[in-house]
Structure 1
Amino acid sequence: MIKTPTAQIIPGTQCVISPQVPLNGFTTLNVGGAAQWFVAPESIQDLQAAYRWAQEYDLPITVLGAGSNLLISDQGLPGLVIATKHLRRIKWDKETGQVTAGAGRALPQLAHHAARLGWSGMEWSVGIPGTVGGAVVMNAGAHGGCAADYLVSALVLEPDGCLSVVTGSDLAYGYRSSVLQGTQRLVLQATWQMEPEQDPQRVKATTQEHLNQRLSTQPYHLPSCGSVFRNPQPHTAGWLIEKVGLKGYQIGQAQVAERHANFILNRGGAKAMDVFQLIRHVQACVSERWDVLLHPEVKILGEFA
């Protein structure tokens, strides 16, 4: 008789490591199978302990922030999935004009908080459905701004378990990319340079303007993972997809959005495989028509047979 794995508590910590936790509720697409093991540390120390636990058992590690920009296989993920949702501590330093936020802090929350204080520098991030950690790793950006423009430093957990402080120049930032992608280096918190004591009404107005623009041009009425493809040049991915007539095209319950063709929506009960096949279909159609290979911006994790 095979014993069913049970939850474990790492000695000396508050870390509860649970087996077979469904991940669809942790992603904005609402798709995906279960994590072999799952933990949501409430402190950096507990996260370090969970990291060591995974290394002790030679398990792969996946970090999960807001679950946006992410497609997880219906088969789930092997190893340990670490959710950063509790790492949301935030500190505003009026002397330096800097804000330090935990990896699990949502970018829109940070942008709205800065606007209320009258601090300028995060207006660009108000409509991005991600976290501080994800923004640092992928160089998130919008409205002419991006993480690389404002990052002072980030606290990173290295594969050997030690902590290091890195700067933007250390991360070799490019368009939606950094050297952290595809590694086992985990961002724990980040410090951003702001401009404090600005006109609060002006900052609020700019922040709201950016949010209104995203709400009016992008579909938020159904679950999605945000923009699916990186924008090639000179045309955007959405324009290329629209021009091949794929707006509204559907596989299973996954659909290319009518409002913005670079979004794929879960119309209710979609499987990760539906989304995956739709991504591949869009790539094939755009490649055939325009001789352009669209590169996914969404991170695809797990097995897709």
Structure 2
Amino acid sequence: MTIFSADTYICDSEKLIASSKKTAQVDNKVIYLPGTDCVVRPKVSLAGYTSYRVGGPAEWYVAPRDITALEASIRYAYEQSLPVTVLGAGSNLLVSDCGISGLVIGTRHLRHSHFEEETGLVTVAAGEAIPGLAWQAAEHGFQGFEWAVGIPGTVGGAVVMNAGAHNGCIADIFVSAEVLCEDGTLRTFTSEDLGYTYRTSKLQGGKNIVTQATFQLQPGADPAVVTATTKHHKEHRLNTQPYDKPSCGSVFRNPKPYSAGWLIEQSGLKGYQIGKAQVAPRHANFIINCGGASACDIFNLIRHIQHNVKEHWSIALEPEVKMIGNFKMA
């Protein structure tokens, strides 16, 4: 069995990779997975499933609502020799205009949460939205997750990439994660297993799927106080970052001791535009969709920024956004 998130690569063709012989036999037909209420659908547009609001179709798309349906989806991919791409909230993702071959598994319906009032342990499913979880923690009087309220992703993606903001990150509160491994078994991974560093973990680019995670927060605080702190972090994000237009959040990792936004701004690129994709005037480490942008516009703007920062500062900016599919250089 092979489970992976497809890598980005550049090509001169904008055609999808041809389907395998097995999938061709059921092309354009809805597939009902036995023993579940799960449906595999062909040629589903992914633009509505990413925060950039761009991207072509998934060759096949499925959105399981529980672990049984998730396992059935993986078995189907294995039986049909399909590569698998996992899609959470699509908030840190750029899907090419060509789309994605194989089976795309959307995890946004995998939702449940459990708060242990005495210990402060919180266990949540991979599809839970990070901002919603931050507000829930505040309502319970649990401290330690206030910083995450402005992160527009899901728990699964946050665990994989060690999401962070306001000097906090997932690694600071992470206890363990339940992971569906490529051999079909469920395993529990600890922080030591994941080898967390800045915005990455050993799960990134791997073949395993996070199904749920447990975090250690601090219980017993006044919910009103925690809510006020959470609200402050939210307002700060809204005041300093462009949330009025589609984006993926920060595009590049910060190459310490610099910030990527400062390097881009000092390179004279704030407001620079390719097609309908623009370096945000409010925050240079954001690329926004001004309306009608293509994934190709965004991709070429990313490459333009990298080239110019390299020319000005001899620093290679590393994308934080994950790019999936075939992209054509301008």
1:217 matches 2:204: no
Instruction: Summarize deviations over 1:189-221 as a string: whole Å, max 9, x none.
Output: 001111111122221121111111111100000
Match of 1:239 among 258, 262, 270: 262
Correspondence for 1:136: 159
Please give the TM-score of this superposition, normalised by the length of structure 1.
0.98
Amino acid at match of 1:286: V
Match of 1:278 among 269, 277, 301: 301
Instruction: Summarize deviations over 1:135-190 as a string: whole Å, max 9, x none.
Output: 10000001111101111110000000000011111001110010001111000000
Matches for 1:159-174 after TM superposition, within 5 Å: 159-174=182-197
Correspondence for 1:265: 288
1:251 matches 2:274: yes
Partner Cα distance (1:232, 1:182) in 2? 21
Correspondence for 1:182: 205
Matches for 1:76-87 after TM superposition, within 5 Å: 76-87=99-110
Partner Cα distance (2:91, 2:311) in 1? 29
Match of 2:135 among 101, 112, 119: 112
Correspondence for 1:40: 63
Q: Secondary structure of 2:187's partner?
A: strand
Deviation for aligned residue 1:95:
3.1
Partner Cα distance (2:27, 2:75) in 1? 23
Correspondence for 2:9: none
Deviation for aligned residue 1:4:
4.3
Distance 1:252 1:99, change over 3 A: same
Match of 1:52 among 66, 69, 75: 75
Answer yes or no: is the 8 Å Cα contact 2:251–2:285 preserved in 1: yes
Q: Secondary structure of 1:302's partner?
A: strand
Correspondence for 1:88: 111
1:149 matches 2:172: yes
Q: Secondary structure of 2:230's partner?
A: helix
Please give the TM-score of this superposition, normalised by the length of structure 2.
0.91
Q: Which has the higher contact order (CA 8 A, sep 6+)?
A: 2
Amino acid at match of 2:44: V
Task: Provide the aligned length of Structure 1 versus Structure 2.
Answer: 305
Correspondence for 2:221: 198
Matched-pair identity in %: 59
Structure 1 alignment gaps of length 5 or more = none
Correspondence for 1:64: 87
Answer yes or no: is the 8 Å Cα contact 2:118–2:219 preserved in 1: no
1:5 matches 2:28: yes
Partner Cα distance (1:25, 1:277) in 2? 21
